[in-house]
Amino acid sequence: MGVISEIYSGDRIINQYKSSNIKGSIYNKGTKKLIIEFNSGSRYEYDEIPEDVAAGLRAAKSQGVYFNKKIVKKYEYRLLK
């Protein structure tokens, strides 16, 4: 699928994706937190995400496949309201 847009704002990297599952992400390099927004509208924050893992998500051919292999069930997370 791929990246539709990428914005750098301080320590944050904000992406929008063309993906069947993931709408976008916000990665904070300072806190190592990654927020994933799904096409369903739900948003989750993942803790202690290494910068190379966040970069891999942005560079992946399929963000959903990468997310399922490298992030989900490997890092602590919480549902955001």
**pLDDT tens string 18-69:** 999 999 999 999 999 999 999 999 999 999 999 999 999 999 999 999 999 9
- Residue ranges of the alpha helices (H) in the chain? 51-59, 63-70
User: How confident is residue 81, by pLDDT bands cut at 50, 70 and 90?
Assistant: confident
User: What pLDDT, on a 0 to 100 scale, did the predictor assign at position 75?
Assistant: 97
1-17 average pLDDT score: 92
Please count the structural domains in the chain. Answer: 1
Would the pLDDT of 1 be above 80? no
Report the length, in residues, of the chain.
81
19: containing domain: 3-80
